[in-house]
Structure 1
Amino acid sequence: MANEPVRVGLIGAGKNTRDRHIPGFQTVEGVEIAAVANRSMQSGRQVADQFNIPQVYGSWQELLEDESLDAICIGTWPYMHRTLTLAALEKGKHVLCEARMATNSSEAQEMLDASRERPELVAQIVPSPMTFKVDDLINKQINDGLLGDLLAVEIQVLGRDFVDVGGPLHWRHNRDLSGYNILSMGIWYEAMIRWAGRATKVMAMTKVNATYRLDDNGNRVGVTIPDHVDVLCELANGAQAHIRISAITGLSAGNDIWLYGSDGTLHLDGQLNLTGGKRGDSQLSEISNPPEGQYAWRVEQEFIGAIRGEEPIVHTPFDVGVHYMEFTEAVTRSAQSGQAISLPL
């Protein structure tokens, strides 16, 4: 029912929750952010005071006992996503879970299985927003036949800084917290499959160049999550894809995406400008992307709309999250074994 009241509880209120989810929920009529549980009571109170949230809980367990809450937004690091999702669903609450979905594919599969046992509840993963404004435009060019048959995809996501040995330790460098997730690889893979389709086979090489970092106390901590990765993929449609993600490419040209087809080519630059050309053209030409055709962030609106029965979850359902977690895990398995890994796992 439109505008049906929905009370949301926050578990974890980091930067993305504060910058994206809270403002997003606050724009939806009939939605109240009613409670928060953060890493400490103090940090929870700070968030509550900043955003006028009436209830602060000292633990996520206490928050989930609040029967007045209809839905939970999980904003913790990936290592807690499975535990919190399963507990929230068991308590009969809708779940919006921060990306990446989990630390590995088995945890993600447990989350999907639990959501399927409660089909009356909405389960959504926060999507990759990297290419939102051009996804529909790319798909239109492909559907209109500009490429012909898709043959190859090249994705480069390159930082512009040099290798940072001994730099500060971020949670993304900690395998206990992040799992198999590597840099922004899963985020860009999720974006790619919207227009190029899923991988069915993966071969990868990875490298840890910054082998240690410094924690908050200045102590050295060994790092095992790669800072440079090359992935070759066989896609379900028969095309091949090459994905390179790196944090060691000082002074690089940045991000660059190419889609090569039997009859045409598409190029997406680092500013999300799309150009294309067909057989017989001498160069690529700009493809206009009018603002009214661009998809914009509306994750929280989609979540509430699904709870109210007004729309399905598109960005991003749990089954898609399981697939990108399988891809992510396959990259590490391939890099460690030197073998090609078939998907699904």
Structure 2
Amino acid sequence: MDIRIGIIGAGENTRLKHIPLLQKIEGVQIVAISNRSMASAQKVCDQFNIANAYDDWQKIIHDPTIDAVLIGTWPNMHKLLTCEALKAGKHVLCEARMARDLAEAREMLDESHLRPSQIAQIVPAPFTLKYDTEIIKLIGNNFFGDILAVNGRFNFNTFLDADAPMHWRENRDISGNNIMLMGILYESMSRWLGPAKSVIASGKIFSSLKDYNGKARPVDIPEHLNILAQVDNGVEAHLQFSSVTALEDCPQSIWIFGSNGTAHLDLKNDQLLLGKKGDTELQLHNFTPPADAIWRVEEEFINAIRGTEKINLTDFDTAFQYMKFTEAVTLSLQEDKRIHLSNLGTLL
């Protein structure tokens, strides 16, 4: 089964990952690129030998010869493009984060449920793919005993630079309620422990204004964020995300503390360390990850279209759950109180 793909938004991840990996799959042809300008679309087409360059995304979505659409834009376009592509009969692979907020994510999810024969996938959080199966196995084998607490940090390990231009992730019009790497860490953690029940969040903004395309814009997305989350099984998780915690020794790491065992996933040094009750220090845990514990988003998407595999990472229903978490964090910041995720359905 040959599959023809059109791409809307050719950012870094699309150029480094999606395009070359899709082009390696037999029977897959990328036939068109749409970007913010014709010049940038043509540049990508020239680089990867793709036939058609557009500056109008509708030419891709409404091309009857295109089977699937890859959406590589910023989150502000995800809801519009996803819903339009699904309505046009296309399969959709959408870059993370799913949307700007829960309401947009709900529209995407509902549209996908109306068309169950069409594949709808969100690019998954990638940083823990190597370790997910092993951590789930450790939990299942009762290595930890009762899991009591989780500490996670996904920090940028930088000093505050209030004079730096505003990154698109700091622009709420573009990024919405997504804050730094919050969604990535939560998506990974929920694979092991299940969804959060409630959150209470505290955030700090240090920069009042930043330049965005020549205009001063107020900064209204936290530059330092702490979250206390109660997970479904009673575990309390303390999660931190920051762009001001420079010179940390382990800026991206996750600790799992149990009654009988501790694990430290050190993403900076790409290692998992374990210790049991009675040990005096952690030891490097050597294991062989499953063969599929790698980045294989594009292969999974194509296999799902061909009916040989189901979407595991990440279907729309799973992505909607991390958008509930994102929404709850935003509401907690706004209302200065604990937010229960079970109550969010009443807001839509």
| Superposed displacement of residue 298, structure 1 | 0.5
Equivalent position to 2:341, from 337, 340, 343: 343
Structure 1 range deviating more: 291-300 or 179-188: 291-300
SS in 2 for 1:18: helix
Relative distance call for 1:84 and 1:66 in structure 2 (3 A) is: same
Who is 2:73 aligned against? 76
| Separation of aligned partners in 2, 1:60 and 1:69 | 13
1:157 aligns with 2:154: yes
Deviation at 1:291, TM superposition (A): 5.5
**1:130-149 correspondence to structure 2 within 5 Å:** 130-149=127-146
Report SS of the residue matched to 2:145: coil
- Give 1:280-295 correspondences, 5 Å limit: 280-290=278-288, 295=293
For the Cα contact (< 8 Å) 1:123–1:318, is it kept in 2? Answer: yes
Q: 1:238 offset after TM fit, Å?
A: 0.9
Residues 248-289 of structure 1: CA distance to partner in whole angstroms, max 9, x if unpaired?
Answer: 012122222110112211111132311112223232222103
| 1:7–1:70 contact (8 Å) kept in structure 2 | yes
Check if 1:167 corresponds to 2:176.
Answer: no
SS of the residue corresponding to residue 256 of structure 1 reads strand
In the alignment, what sits opposite 2:27?
30
Match of 1:309 among 303, 307, 310: 307
SS in 1 for 2:149: strand
In the alignment, does 2:180 pair up with 1:191?
no
Other structure's SS at 1:53 match: coil
Partner Cα separation in structure 1 for residue 103 and residue 83 of structure 2 = 13
Question: Displaced runs of 4+ in structure 1, greater than 4 A?
Answer: 291-294
Q: Given the alignment of the two structures, is residue 331 of structure 1 paired with residue 329 of structure 2, yes or no?
A: yes
How far, CA to CA, are the matches of 2:253 and 2:87 in structure 1? 43
Structure 2 residue runs without a partner (length 5+): none
Match of 2:201 among 201, 204, 215: 204
Moved more, 208-217 or 63-72: 208-217
Q: Do the aligned residues in 1 keep the contact of 2:131 with 2:289 (CA within 8 Å)?
A: no
**Contact conserved, 1:159 with 1:249, CA < 8 A, in 2?**
yes
Match of 1:113 in 2: 110
Which 10-residue stretch deviates more, 289-298 or 179-188? 289-298
Residue 38 of structure 2 corresponds to 41
Distance in 2 separating the partners of 1:138 and 1:291:
11
Do the aligned residues in 2 keep the contact of 1:166 with 1:220 (CA within 8 Å)? no
What residue is the counterpart of 1:5 in the other structure? 2
Partner of 1:247: 243
| Residue identity matched to 1:203 | I
Q: Does 1:99 align with 2:96?
A: yes
Counterpart position of 1:63: 60
2:100 and 2:177 in contact (8 A); partners too: yes
Provide the aligned C-alpha RMSD in A. 1.3
Sequence identity (%): 49
Report if aligned partners of 2:133, 2:289 keep a CA contact under 8 Å in 1: no
Quick one: distance in 2 between partners of 1:294 and 1:79? 31
What pairs up with 1:13-28 in 2 under 5 angstroms? 13-28=10-25
TM-score (norm 2): 0.95
Gaps of 5+ in 1: none
CA–CA distance in structure 2, aligned partners of residues 126 and 160 of structure 1: 25
Q: Does 1:238 align with 2:234?
A: yes
Residue matched to 1:228: 224
**Who is 1:52 aligned against?**
49
TM-score, scaled to structure 1: 0.96
Residue type at the aligned position of 2:38: M
> What code does the residue aligned with 1:277 have?
G
Determine if contact 1:134/1:294 at 8 Å carries over to the other structure: no
Shift of 1:294: 6.8
Deviations along 1:57-110, one digit per CA (max 9) or x if unpaired, are 231112111100000000011011000010000000000000000000011011
CA displacement at 1:13 relative to structure 2: 0.6
